[in-house]
Amino acid sequence: MATMTSHDRPTGKAGNLPAVVVGAGPLSIENVVSVARYGAPVKLAAEALDEVRRTRRIIEDLADDTEPHYGVSTGFGALATTQIPVDQRRRLQRGLIRSHAAGTGPEVEEEVVRALMVLRIATLATGRTGIREETLTTYIEILNAHITPVVHEWGSLGCSGDLAPLSHCALALMGEGPVRIDGVPMDAADALRRNGIEPVELHEKEGLALINGTDGMLGMLCLAIHDLRRLATTADIAGAMSVEGLLGTDDVFRSDLHDLRPQPGQALSASNMWKVLADSPIRASHDTEDCPRVQDAYSLRCAPQVTGGLRDTIDHAARVAGFELASAIDNPVVTAVGKVESNGNFHGAPVAYVLDFLAIPAADVASMSERRTDRFLDVARNHGLPPFLADDPGVDSGLMIAQYTQAGLVSEMKRLATPASVDSIPSSAMQEDHVSMGWSAARKLRRSVEALGRVLAIELVTAARGIQLRAPLEPSPATGAVIEALNAVTDTRPGPDRFLAPDLAAAYRCVVDGDVVAAAVSATGPLN
């Protein structure tokens, strides 16, 4: 499980954030992040209630029908042919949630739970699920009260959707199971009572409506896309600083060269690196006819090609996420013309594929970052810097072991790049005989995103020290601003060995909080 950091938890109860409206059209990725991470409140669009009420009447009419209807008057999965007597149907819905809330292992992050909750609410608000109005509005009340159900690491196969994680959330809606409020554990019944919220008694079809969705994997995809966009820009900044500190050239980042290969992400990354290196006295110091270096190493020269590939993959993933955000996932669904139809839209394959895909370029960007760090530490390749950037080599080890840490992270990311979505384990007595493993793909991508941030933080610390060792030569304005931002919370300056872990942790916080990008932008203007 990814290590909890401060951005894994909402910063407060709504604060001044505008409400995110559900039921008036698809949510955006930023809507999801705003609710999940920063605690924005959720508001139901007035027009959504009419459709919710209309389709609920359809479900209630079917409940009285003598013909069996899946999830309304029958059991579930392999028990779909079992007719349920009228007086047992509410018990059926309660039992469905209790039995499906079968997760195990560590708790997942609060922001993940909030993301899947708002996404399920968004689907319920479409009216395609047949949910009752009071069930939907109570779910919104729980989310807005910052009551976060405990959801566990393992339990979802990504088909039929994220059943176990969503069931743990539905359990809280019933006033059962463990929850947290602002990180404090308590029973759901107590949490609801403290906030004046009445537990819901589920009626026909509502159990299915609450749990048959791809919301967990989609929520984690939205969060990953948001974070990777910032990390891609951070990778460009770190790469540019390494080029500068290793006496590389920025000529290869000229736009005319990248116009020859019109990969969109590559051009964006090259433009960023060009801007960060602008007006660098260090760069100008070796721009002479007798400079012995004809070409820089690939890890310097080809950085836009690799980070640009990550950018393009993010854009593809965002396109898939956009389609999923515009979806109403349930089985069965109430169609726009009032028919109740079974379907397979809960299968998580489209989301699972891009979750796996993102882990590949993330690992490669990290791998290239580690190679640049290693060049700084090797006297055979760092063009006049001390071994390991140590103050007194032999007595001091400098940043030797920081590179070990980086290498361990990269190795882990390579393992995490192995796809989960190619696996499938049949379930429910072979009724559900092919599953997506999308939840697993999402969980490993979260670990990969965190690792990438930590890898880039180590490169930034290394490049900052290497650049400062070039004194009295001055860095570019952008690089100088980044070094200043890092030194405000840690110390990247050359000197005797010191306890390094806190420095790396502080640099990581600068990465994930956006301080590195903000510092560079203060000198360059907007970056891609």
- The CATH number of the domain where 22 resides is what? 1.10.275.10
Residues 205 and 303 in one domain: no
Give a yes or no: residue 186 inside a domain. yes
Name the active-site residue from 70, 139, 353, 508: 70
Give CA–CA dist 477/254, Å, rounded.
19
Peptide bond into 332 cis (omega under 30): yes
pLDDT-derived band of residue 424, with 50, 70 and 90 as boundaries? confident
The arithmetic mean of pLDDT across residues 22-48, rounded, is: 97
pLDDT score of 85 more than 80: no
Last residue of one domain, picked from the residues 163, 178, 213: 213
**DSSP characters over 471-516:** TTS---HHHHHHHHHHHTTS--SS-S----HHHHHHHHHHHHTTHH
The encoded tokens of residue 90 equal 């509410």
Give a yes or no: residue 218 inside a domain. no
Give a yes or no: residue 201 inside a domain. yes
The arithmetic mean of pLDDT across residues 257-277, rounded, is: 98
Give a yes or no: residue 368 inside a domain. yes
Q: What is the pLDDT of residue 1?
A: 36
- The identity of residue 257, as a single letter, is L
Q: What is the pLDDT of residue 73?
A: 66
Domain total of the chain: 2
Residues 295 and 149 in one domain: no
Last residue of one domain, picked from the residues 162, 183, 213: 213
Helix axes 215-245, 477-487, angle to 10 degrees: 110
Give a yes or no: residue 220 inside a domain. no
pLDDT score of 8 more than 50: no
Last residue of one domain, picked from the residues 153, 182, 213: 213
Phi-psi category of 229—alpha, beta or left, where left has phi over 0 and alpha has psi -120 to 50? Answer: alpha
Give a yes or no: residue 114 inside a domain. yes
Residues 273 and 334 in one domain: yes
Give a yes or no: residue 466 inside a domain. yes
The arithmetic mean of pLDDT across residues 23-48, rounded, is: 97
Question: Which residues span the domain enclosing 43?
Answer: 6-213
Give a yes or no: residue 250 inside a domain. yes
Q: List, for residues 163-212, the tens digit of each pLDDT value.
A: 999 999 999 999 999 999 999 999 999 999 999 999 999 998 999 999 99
Q: What is the pLDDT of residue 496?
A: 97
The encoded tokens of residue 125 equal 């608000």
pLDDT score of 426 more than 90: no
pLDDT score of 342 more than 50: yes
Q: What is the pLDDT of residue 75?
A: 59
Residue whose structure tokens are 């949630």: 97
- 8-state DSSP, 83: B
Residues 295 and 155 in one domain: no
Residues 369 and 289 in one domain: yes
Residue 70 annotated as catalytic: yes
Residues 157 and 302 in one domain: no
pLDDT score of 12 more than 50: no
* Residue 188 contacts residue 147 (beta carbons within 8 Å): yes
pLDDT-derived band of residue 39, with 50, 70 and 90 as boundaries? very high
Residues 165 and 290 in one domain: no
pTM metric for this prediction: 0.94
Enclosing H/E stretch for 43 = strand 42-44
